[in-house]
């Protein structure tokens, strides 16, 4: 199991706002500050297949298919392309129970987090962020966060909301769901196709 951290990839360019070639906001972005979706997708591929999907390859693919037309990665564009490339099934939902059921059935979920409240600190992000949910029970979910640092979850306002085991982050389904981005599908589900074993 690989934990792929976007902070290590400041040397890989990841152009943003690609439909606006003159937009200066998009030209200097790298995976470090815009590639959480890429790293989450790479971790999903690592978990569900025997193939490798490098961060550089993910960045190039996302740009090629229009996945970086705005800020960050549009998982509604990029997710289905990744699924097809690696022979996986893909789905979207905003139902936390459906997401957990998919994980418990062997799938993996990329969850889109957001900080939508002006006075809320945000457990996973100050803005908008993808994380990978790799295991779940009815009481707890296990997360690989592409922007993990040793200090990210130790701030006092996060005490009691998560627990850590190395780079694995655990929280409740309720907390995960409360932190989601509510304006888009919150959960992007990847599954092995039936009969496709590793």
Question: What tens digit of pLDDT does each residue of 20-56 get?
Answer: 777 766 678 999 999 999 999 999 999 999 999 999 9
Higher pLDDT, 172 or 156: 172
How far is residue 92's CA from residue 75's CA, in Å, rounded to a whole number?
A: 10
Of 73, 182, 62, whose CA–CA distance to 132 is shortest?
73
pTM of the model: 0.94
The residues that bridge with 189 in the sheet, in sequence order, are 91, 109
CATH number (3.90.70.10, 3.30.930.10, 3.50.50.60, 3.40.50.2300) of 6-192 reads 3.90.70.10
How far is residue 185's CA from residue 91's CA, in Å, rounded to a whole number?
A: 10
> For position 198, what pLDDT does the model report?
62
Strand boundaries in the chain, DSSP class E: 88-93, 108-114, 128-136, 141-144, 163-165, 168-171, 187-192
Conformation bin of residue 196: beta by default, left when phi > 0, alpha when psi is -120 to 50: beta
How far is residue 162's CA from residue 142's CA, in Å, rounded to a whole number?
A: 10
- Kindly state the average pLDDT of the residues 76-80: 98
pLDDT tops 80 at residue 81: yes
How far is residue 91's CA from residue 149's CA, in Å, rounded to a whole number?
A: 30
């Amino acid at each position: 199991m690989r934990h792929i951290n976007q902070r290590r990839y400041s040397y890989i360019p990841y152009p943003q706002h690609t439909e606006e070639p003159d937009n200066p906001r998009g030209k200097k972005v790298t995976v470090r500050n815009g590639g959480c979706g890429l790293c989450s997708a790479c971790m999903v591929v690592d978990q569900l297949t025997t193939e490798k999907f490098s961060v550089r390859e993910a960045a190039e693919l996302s740009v090629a298919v229009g996945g970086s037309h705005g800020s960050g990665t549009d998982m509604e564009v990029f997710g289905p392309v990744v699924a097809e490339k690696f022979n996986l099934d893909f789905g979207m939902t905003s139902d936390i129970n459906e997401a957990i059921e998919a994980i418990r059935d062997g799938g993996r979920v990329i969850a889109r987090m957001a900080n939508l409240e002006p006075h809320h600190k945000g457990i996973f992000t100050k803005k908008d962020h993808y994380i990978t949910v790799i295991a779940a029970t009815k009481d707890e979910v296990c997360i690989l966060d592409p922007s993990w640092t040793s200090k990210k979850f130790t701030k006092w306002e996060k005490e009691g909301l998560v627990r850590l085991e190395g780079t694995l982050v655990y929280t409740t389904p309720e907390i995960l769901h409360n932190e989601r981005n509510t304006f888009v599908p919150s959960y992007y589900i990847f599954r092995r196709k039936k009969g496709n074993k590793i």
